[in-house]
Amino acid sequence: MNKNSIELLGVDGGGTKTRAVLVKADGTILGEGLAGASNYHVVGAEGAEKALTDAILAAFKDAKMDEVQAVSIEKAVFALAGIDTVNDKSEVEGIVQRVIKALSIEIGNLLVENDCLSALLGAIQNKAGVLLIAGTGSIVFAHDGNNRIVRSGGWGHRIGDEGSGYWIGKQAIQSVLKMVDGRGEDTLLSKLILEKFNFTKVEELYNWTYSDCYSVDDVGALAAVVDEAFQLGDTVSKRILDAAVDELLLLIETAIEKADIRQNEFDMIIQGGVFHNNRYIKNQVSQRIRQSTTKVKIRTSTEEPIRNIIKRGLQLI
């Protein structure tokens, strides 16, 4: 394969997995690689470097390119979760530069930015629009169509990510502990969560939350358990889902106001596991946003975010 045929290296890195793709100028994917989480807030700088390296190498292998050293790539977009402050930007750019140097890859035009921002700009092609991602974490970016970009949420699992899968899972665990104390009503979540983790008593669940085995991803996966309990008529689970809807709507409404696009026609893209796996949240968010913003066109994206990141990368000069 001619090395000059590689137009773009696109990387989508989050708190659960990292995807890297090698792309031709016409958007054709030559090779794709997957690895673990690359959000440095979750796995640390070394963990992020390893995940990025593993994903990129896997993409080269999938493209049948065994020689990575000195490969020339026209453009690269590293769309990574965890870029939330100026300091984050500096830290993550350093991580990316170390990965590129270690792999001896030559890149003509390099862009490192927040994953949600990158996906939004790739999806709307410089028009007004909003992207809400609610997966393990949650974040909203809005664009007014005139180069003004605003953000709401995305402050991470420790102090933010309201309405996300992790947030829902954490509320579920808290509800179980309140039930055991007598501070909260009985809930099916106790039985279902213990079964999920193969625990026999709540004490094991508590011990797990403070052990080295605890993971953001595993807690985020409990959102599906909450939905299961809700489908079975569990009132505690319904309250958790309703609270998640309220939080996600607050993220969206805040971004719309900051971008000053409520009176405009614009697309709102909702994406992530929370919407794909929980019809109740998806329907409630969609219905309520239409009531307050009549010109919005809501699109539920089933595409992997990497598709919009590819579009973003191919736009680069």
Mean pLDDT of 198-218: 92
The reported pLDDT for the residue numbered 233 is 96
Q: How confident is the model at residue 2 (pLDDT cuts 50, 70, 90)?
A: very low
C-alpha 235 chain-centroid distance: 28
Mean pLDDT of 283-292: 89
Q: What are the tens digits of pLDDT across the range 103-127?
A: 888 888 999 998 888 888 888 877 8
The reported pLDDT for the residue numbered 97 is 94
| Residue bearing tokens 């607050």 | 250
